[in-house]
């Protein structure tokens, strides 16, 4: 089956690579031994591969996207990345849900917020359907680093999202930009309840509407 690479994020000394299958399913691409990809992996956002995979066993919700990839065959690359965005939005939607609005609606409205502004889900709260998704915010996100971590603060709130992607950080992410967001793995730092914290995987530059229409017409022969 074909997969589009849509995200690449830092995870300790490795890279967490996310994709969308031809049927619109979100996946997280692990190796055969259930590990993330190497930090220097040549898998990049916009790449399309044909893969053979099996499901990871004993997955814990909401991280239901894990698959074990046994074979890779490079197919082509969306260039520029805006072509990929056009394809995802106009060809696979509504197979792929895109949250459009304020931060209250993301992850099925299951996100809770700490007093310091970090978003999370907890084992005692509601669990969303997925641990990854696309979001088009209706407010700007402004860079506001803390403790050497790149974070983005949602305009008009104290809510902040840590950025974990491989892109070069920008100062401002304007409202209306398509984002890829995710929930980190379950974690309990002090033997408290386990939580999954909200993080920003990356953003995509969108073309003008007339450009998007032209690009999607040019890509009508894409295989999925």
- What would the pLDDT profile of 141-187 be if each residue is shown by its tens digit? 999 999 889 999 999 999 999 999 999 999 999 999 999 999 999 99
Measured CA to CA, the distance from residue 86 to residue 207 in angstroms comes to 8
Could you say which DSSP state residue 150 is in?
A: -
Count of helix runs (H) and strand runs (E) in the chain: 3, 16
Alpha-carbon span 107 to 18, nearest angstrom: 17
- Look up residue 12 and give its two tokens: 């300790």
| Element spanning 38, H or E | strand 37-38
Task: Determine phi and psi for 16, rounding to 5 degrees.
Answer: -95, 120
Residue 95 has what pLDDT? Answer: 63
Angle at 92 between CA 91 and CA 98, to 5 degrees: 120
- Respond yes or no on whether the N-terminal peptide bond of residue 92 is cis (omega within 30° of 0): no
Highest mean pLDDT of the ranges 77-81, 126-130, 206-210: 126-130
Residue 212 has pLDDT above 80, yes or no: no
Give the global pTM.
0.87
Domains plus CATH for the chain? 2-80 (2.40.50), 85-204 (no CATH)
- Cα–Cα distance measured from residue 75 to residue 84, given in angstroms and rounded to the nearest whole number: 14
| Average per-residue pLDDT for the chain | 88
């Amino acid at each position: 089956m074909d997969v589009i690479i849509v995200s690449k994020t830092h995870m300790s000394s490795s890279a967490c690579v996310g994709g969308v299958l031809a049927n619109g399913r979100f996946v997280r691409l692990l190796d055969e031994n259930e590990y993330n990809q190497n930090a220097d992996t040549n898998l990049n956002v916009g790449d399309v591969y044909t893969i053979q995979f099996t499901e990871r066993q004993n997955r814990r919700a909401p991280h239901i996207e894990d698959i074990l990839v046994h074979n890779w065959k490079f197919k082509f690359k969306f260039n520029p990345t805006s072509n990929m965005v056009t394809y995802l939005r106009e060809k696979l939607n509504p197979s792929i849900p895109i949250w459009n609005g304020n931060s209250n609606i993301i992850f099925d409205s299951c996100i809770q917020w700490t007093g310091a502004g970090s978003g999370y889900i907890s084992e005692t709260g509601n669990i969303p359907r997925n641990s990854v998704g696309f979001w088009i915010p209706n407010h700007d996100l402004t860079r506001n680093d803390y403790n050497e971590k790149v974070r983005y603060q949602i305009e008009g709130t104290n809510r902040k999202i840590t950025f974990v992607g491989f892109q070069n950080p920008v100062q401002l992410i304007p409202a209306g930009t398509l984002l890829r967001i995710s929930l980190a793995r379950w974690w309990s730092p002090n033997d408290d309840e386990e939580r999954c914290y909200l993080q920003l995987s990356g953003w995509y530059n969108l073309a003008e509407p007339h450009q998007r229409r032209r690009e999607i017409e040019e890509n009508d022969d894409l295989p999925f």
